[in-house]
Each structure stands twice: as C-alpha cells, then as structure tokens.
Structure 1
Amino acid sequence: MSIRKENESWSQVLLDKVVFITGAGGSIGSVICHTCAMHGAKVVVSDINKKAADKVVVDILETQNEQSDRIMSLELDIVNEQAIEQAVEQVVDQWGTIHVLVNAAAIFTWGSIEDISADDWLHILNVNVRGCALIVKHVVPLLKQQRSGSIIQFGSISGVNGQASFVPYGTTKAAVIQMTRNLAVDLGPFNIRCNSISPGCIKTPVTAQVADFKNLTMDECFQQRSEVQCLKRIGTPQEIANLVVFLASDLCSFITGANLLADGGYTTV
C-alpha cells in the first residue's frame, strides 16, 4: 500500500472541508483518511476500534507533517445511536459543521441461506444497513442547514452481481446502494449529493478472508478474479480513496444518485 507523503504534490480539492469517515481504522478507511488529509481536509477518523483510529491519526501526523488540530480520532460504534449523536456533537464543537460523510464501516458475513443464523442476519443488517442510515440521519441536518454536502456510502460488486454463498453480505450491500439512491432523491433539493462506491477485488485483509472461505491461496484468488475482468489485476485501497476524494470534492458537483463501480471491469464481462 503506497501513500504519497508530500502535500505539495496534491491539489487541495478538499481544503478545509470537514470529512467524517466511519470504519476509518480499516485497510481502505485508513487510506481514505490519509488521502483526504493530503487534499486539505479536516478529517474525523472514527472506528469501533479506538486504537486503530488513533494509529491512523499518528501515521497521518508523522507522514504528512500535518497539524494535530486538523485530525480527530473518535471511538464510534455505528449501531449505537446515542454514540452517533455524541460524536456529531463533538465534531461540531471542534469544527462547526460536517461537509462530507464517508460511510465505510461494515462487517463481512458469507454463506448460503441455510448456513446463516437469525443472529447472523440481525448483526450484519444492524451494522451494514441500519448503522449507515443512523449516522446519515444525524449528519443530514447539518448539511441541510448549509445547503450543501456530500454523502458517500460503500456498496460492493456483491450488491450488484449474484455471487455464490454471499447471500447476507450481498443483500446488505444492495440495500446500501438503494438507500443511497433514495437519499439522492430526498436530499437533492438541498444541494446534498449522495453517491455510492462499489469496489471489486481490492488488496486488503478481507480478500484473504474470502480466499480462505473459498479454500484458495491469496495468489489463486487474485489470479481467478483477474482472469474474469477487463483489467487483469487487483485494485488497491489508494484507488478507492482517490474516488472518494473525487466524490467528496466540487469536481463532481453534478453527480448524485450514482453507484460507481471500481471493479476493474468485473461487472462488465
């Protein structure tokens, strides 16, 4: 995973925008935090794992010579509505508002319909769907008040294409994609843009879990996926983070309700 270190080499397309990122301690979330900071944003690094969030902040400060008052670390469980309210209040107290919400927090549960318990369904729906909706609920009043903003949610190719033994995860990601479309309709009159990103096979620890689930080595998993998509390689977290910056910025001020597939052409073939 390669992250540029010289702020001078990046345009400041997010200058002074407050970007709130959930799941920020993860392999993709952490790179999103780094990249938003490089583009001038004030970054809220939120994660259920406070140590992971704190590490992201330390890494940003060390690698970018960033000012500590432009990065905030929060412990946040997105299924806890009271915790969400408190987190939003803390950000507003610090920086006055929120301009961009990036909903990257998610859990991964795979299996066929016979394998998944009622508790499994409750847990993944609670995090991947209800959790996303709750944090949007508490950020939207700020965006409405300023009559601008960008909400970026994470779908997946699993929410677009049918995949063997991916029933619960694919179901939740399809729900997030549709939630985002509905939000775009409701919030468009307030100049709030709502888009989703659906990554394909990205080089992260989750890919290792998928390989395990399919009884494949990592190399076998990468080769298998690469062979069936237009670009014959696996994606990187940095490529996803770059797309987040685009959607968060004014460079795409006329894009809303879109589900952008970052999958190397997997869903095209």
Structure 2
Amino acid sequence: MTTVKLSESWSQVLRDKVVFITGGGGGIGSAIAHTCTLHGAQVVVSDINKAAADRVVADIVGSQNEGSDRIISLELDTVDEQAIEQAVKKVVDKWGTIHVLVNAAADFTLGLIENVSADAWSHIFNVNVRGYALMIKHIVSLLKEQRSGSIIQFGSISGLIAQAGFVPYNTTKAAVIQMTRNLALDLGSYNIRCNSISPGCIETPPIIQLAASRNLTMKQFVQNRADTQCIKRIGTPQEIANMVVFLASDLCPFITGANLTVDGGYTTI
C-alpha cells in the first residue's frame, strides 16, 4: 500500500482518539486502519478473518515504524452479539474508551429476487444492518458518558439508486443510510455525530469479482464505468479512508445525519 505523506498540521488530527473498525481486514477497511493510525489514532482492526486483520496490523507496524501499542487486531463476527460485547470489553480494558466507530463490515450478496434464498437474505441483513446496529448498541453508552463521539457507517451508492440484479445488497445499504439518519436524531443531544459514507465504484476485491462475473477485464470494466461518471476513473480505498478521517476528527463538529457520496459523480449524471 502507498504510504500517505502528511503535513505537520494534519498529521495528528485523530491524536488520542480510539477508532474501532469492523471489516478492517478488507481493502477499504485496511486503508482506513492505515490512515487513522497515521493521523495519530489508536486503532482496533476487527474482522471475521483474524489472519486478514493480523496482516493489516503487521503491515502498519512495518510500514509506519509504528509501535504495536497503538494498534490491535481482533477476530470479530458482528453477527454474534456476545462476541461484540467481548470485543468492546477488550478495547475498553486496554484504552479506557472508544471515540469513533467505523462500521465497514459488509456482505456483498447480489442477485435477482427469485434467485436469492431465505438464508442469503438473513445473512446479508445480519451483517449489513443488524451487525451495525449491535455494534452501536454496545458502544453508545461510552459515547454518551463522554458526551462526544463519531459513528461512521458504510452505505453505498447502491443504497441510493436501482441496479439490475443487486436487490439484496441495495436493500441493506438503503437501510444503513436511513438507520444513520435516525441515529443522528436520537444521539445529537449527546454531541454524538452519526454519518454514512456511500462509495461508488472503488478498486477492491468485490469489484474485481464483479468484473469477472461479467466476463470483463478490469481495464474493460473501468472504461465502461468511467464513461458514466464525471471523473473518468474508478476510486481508490485511500480516497474513502480520507473521508473517514475527516468524519472521525473534530474538523466537522456540525456534520451529522449526512450521507456523503464518494463516487466520482456517478449519481450526478
């Protein structure tokens, strides 16, 4: 991963903040972990795949010459409420509290309505919606007690538009965006900000798999996509991570209930 270079004025915008990331072993999650650490945060990289989370931590420690005392990995299946409770306790025992929650874990089940099984519907809702809600349930008391905090949820442009053969995924992402609005209303009096980020086409493993499923090379897929956007390329995980840092920091204390699209202008056209 390319190392981000920061000016001194920006280098510590997350200093002393504890940032808990779900889905931290993935392409976007790992970029978020790298960038939050670089900006001074203490970072929890949680993922259902512990080996993936461990690799992210090892990469950060090696590439940033960062001590392992400021970043930890946890195995976490956000479908399991007891596991969430235990994970939150581990973090609080280590660092005392949590300031920022980044709900980035995701299931990418796609399909036509007649082809999606009941079990597949249950799983995608458990990961993409219920899991997000349970994470907040078990962290929000900490945020209320300190009367501050930032909850950042991953929506998608798929939650804003219709896409052929995307019914399960789009449905859950629309639910996340609406959940975020309601949380902003319920938690605003505690000075807790709740926002969602809706990425467009970002170069990650699911996008590579989507291109393959359509019998397209990545070059062909990118060209097809670029033709439908204002900015003629697809996005990078780093560009999403930069938005997370902004929302996690104290640079935007009056932004809450917002859904911020990072899509190269795809939903503009």
Into which bin does the TM-score normalised by the smaller protein fall? Answer: over 0.9
Find the counterpart in structure 2 of residue 257 from structure 1.
Answer: 257
Give the 3 Å change call, closer, same or farther, for CA 231–240 of structure 1 in structure 2: same
Find the counterpart in structure 2 of residue 149 from structure 1.
Answer: 149
Does the 8 Å CA contact 2:20/2:100 hold for their aligned counterparts?
Answer: yes
Find the counterpart in structure 2 of residue 177 from structure 1.
Answer: 177
Output the aligned Cα RMSD: 1.3
Give the 3 Å change call, closer, same or farther, for CA 6–148 of structure 1 in structure 2: closer
**CA separation in 2, counterparts of 1:200 and 1:3?**
23
Q: How does 1:201-220 map to 2 (within 5 A)?
A: 201-220=201-220
**CA separation in 1, counterparts of 2:161 and 2:215?**
21
Find the counterpart in structure 1 of residue 78 from structure 2.
Answer: 78
Find the counterpart in structure 2 of residue 18 from structure 1.
Answer: 18
| 1:154-207 residue CA offsets vs partner (Å, 9 max, x unmatched) | 000111011110000000000001000100000000000000000000011111
> What is the TM-score when the length of structure 1 is the normalising length?
0.97
User: Which amino acid counterpart does residue 228 of structure 1 have in structure 2?
Assistant: T
**CA separation in 2, counterparts of 1:75 and 1:10?**
31
**CA separation in 2, counterparts of 1:41 and 1:126?**
29
CA drift at 1:10: 4.7
Q: How does 1:1-269 map to 2 (within 5 A)?
A: 1-4=1-4, 10-269=10-269
Give the 3 Å change call, closer, same or farther, for CA 57–215 of structure 1 in structure 2: same
2:101 aligns to what SS in structure 1? strand
CA drift at 1:143: 0.2
1:151 aligns to what SS in structure 2? strand
User: Which amino acid counterpart does residue 229 of structure 1 have in structure 2?
Assistant: Q
Does the 8 Å CA contact 1:7/1:38 hold for their aligned counterparts?
Answer: no
Runs of 4+ in 1 over 3 A off after TM superposition: 5-10
Give the 3 Å change call, closer, same or farther, for CA 10–60 of structure 1 in structure 2: farther
Give the 3 Å change call, closer, same or farther, for CA 23–71 of structure 1 in structure 2: same
CA drift at 1:31: 0.7
CA drift at 1:216: 2.1
User: Which amino acid counterpart does residue 168 of structure 1 have in structure 2?
Assistant: P
CA drift at 1:211: 1.1
CA drift at 1:114: 1.1
CA drift at 1:9: 8.5
| 1:113-148 residue CA offsets vs partner (Å, 9 max, x unmatched) | 111111111111111110111001001000000000
1:171 aligns to what SS in structure 2? helix
Give unpaired runs (5+ residues) of structure 1.
none
Using the aligned pairs only, state the percent identity: 74
Give unpaired runs (5+ residues) of structure 2.
none
Does the 8 Å CA contact 1:17/1:98 hold for their aligned counterparts?
Answer: yes
> What is the TM-score when the length of structure 2 is the normalising length?
0.97
**CA separation in 1, counterparts of 2:8 and 2:108?**
37
| 1:26-76 residue CA offsets vs partner (Å, 9 max, x unmatched) | 011001000000000000010001111111111111111112111111100
CA drift at 1:78: 0.2
**CA separation in 1, counterparts of 2:25 and 2:247?**
21
User: Which amino acid counterpart does residue 4 of structure 1 have in structure 2?
Assistant: V
1:102 aligns to what SS in structure 2? strand
1:250 aligns to what SS in structure 2? coil
CA drift at 1:213: 2.7
User: Which amino acid counterpart does residue 109 of structure 2 have in structure 1?
Assistant: T
2:73 aligns to what SS in structure 1? strand
Does the 8 Å CA contact 1:7/1:64 hold for their aligned counterparts?
Answer: no
**CA separation in 1, counterparts of 2:187 and 2:110?**
33
CA drift at 1:103: 0.3
User: Which amino acid counterpart does residue 230 of structure 2 have in structure 1?
Assistant: C
Does the 8 Å CA contact 2:99/2:143 hold for their aligned counterparts?
Answer: yes
User: Which amino acid counterpart does residue 2 of structure 2 have in structure 1?
Assistant: S
User: Which amino acid counterpart does residue 228 of structure 2 have in structure 1?
Assistant: V
Does the 8 Å CA contact 2:3/2:63 hold for their aligned counterparts?
Answer: no
